[in-house]
Structure formats: structure tokens, C-alpha cells
């Protein structure tokens, strides 16, 4: 079999902060506010996230660190797990993520690999694309689907039956 080259493209819309679509302003604000309550004494990198559900609820979360580093949890997973726990039948329509370091909002925040996998799983669970809104200091980045952040992803179909 000959070697092939595979090109994977991701479409991301980039807006100036003041040009963000109105429908996501409240969600982005909730993510930014969630950074204030993050427990990040080791990294001093406060991350907040907010999830918009199809029932109109917004659930926020923030990173929770631990001296034993693997024991902490990222803001995205805190918000998604809380939303799934409180509203197990509600689809996640969008998630906004913001971060503050040294008292200032960062230029760009993206989910870590573990969070991307969880975003992808939640999207598959509800069979509903989830917009991912990355709230930077000067720009807002929006993807149409969490799956666009995790090409060649692993899912339940990869597990033995």
C-alpha cells in the first residue's frame, strides 16, 4: 500500500473581544468570573469555564489544584462534570474558557489533551456539536465543534465489543 499524506484542517472563527457574537457574551463573562474562584496556589494560572446547556442553564467551573499535581482537575472538566451531574438529560451547546495569570487575562487559552477528550466524549454522549469559545485578552476564538480540537480522536467505537 503506498504512503498517503493526510491533511486535517480546523476552522476557527476569530473575533475581536468587542466583536464577539452577543449570544456568547454572557457565557464568556461567566467563564471569566469563574477564574476568580480557581484554586491555583501552585501554578498561579487561574482558569475558568462556563457551559451553556440546551435548557438555558449556565454552569461554571474553575481549576482546582493539589500539591500532588495529578490529583487536581481542570476548569473545563469541573464545569462539564457538574453540568452532567445536575442536568444529565441536557445537551451541552457551548463551553467558554478563560484564564488569568499574574492578575491579567491571557492572550489565548486552549483545553489540555485530557479536557479535549472529555469535550469530545460529552459531544458524542449527546450527539450534539458543542461550540468551544476560547476567551483571550484581545481576541475570541470559536470552533463549531469540540471534535475539531481533537482530530483522529479516540471514542467508544475504538473499544472491543
Dmax (CA) for the chain in angstroms is: 54
Catalytic residue from among 23, 33, 57, 76 = 76
Dig out the grid coordinates for 19 from the structure: 466583536
Is residue 76 annotated as part of the catalytic site, yes or no? yes
- Give me the torsion for CA of 70, 74, 80, 82, rounded to 10°: 80
Cα first-last separation, the chain: 28
The catalytic site residues sit at 76
Amino acid at each position: 500500500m503506498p504512503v498517503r499524506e493526510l491533511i486535517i484542517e480546523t476552522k476557527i472563527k476569530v473575533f475581536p473581544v468587542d466583536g464577539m457574537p452577543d449570544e456568547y457574551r454572557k457565557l464568556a463573562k461567566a467563564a471569566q468570573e469563574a477564574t476568580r474562584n480557581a484554586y491555583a496556589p501552585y501554578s498561579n494560572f487561574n482558569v475558568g469555564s462556563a457551559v451553556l446547556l440546551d435548557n438555558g442553564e449556565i454552569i461554571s467551573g474553575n481549576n482546582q489544584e493539589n500539591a500532588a499535581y495529578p490529583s487536581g482537575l481542570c476548569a473545563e472538566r469541573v464545569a462539564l462534570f457538574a453540568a452532567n451531574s445536575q442536568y444529565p438529560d441536557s445537551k451541552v451547546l457551548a463551553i467558554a474558557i478563560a484564564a488569568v495569570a499574574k492578575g491579567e487575562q491571557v492572550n489565548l487559552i486552549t483545553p489540555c489533551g485530557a479536557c479535549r477528550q472529555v469535550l469530545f466524549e460529552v459531544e458524542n454522549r449527546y450527539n450534539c456539536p458543542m461550540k468551544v469559545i476560547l476567551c483571550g485578552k484581545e481576541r475570541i476564538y470559536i470552533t463549531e465543534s469540540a471534535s475539531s480540537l481533537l482530530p483522529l480522536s479516540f471514542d467508544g467505537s475504538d473499544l472491543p465489543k
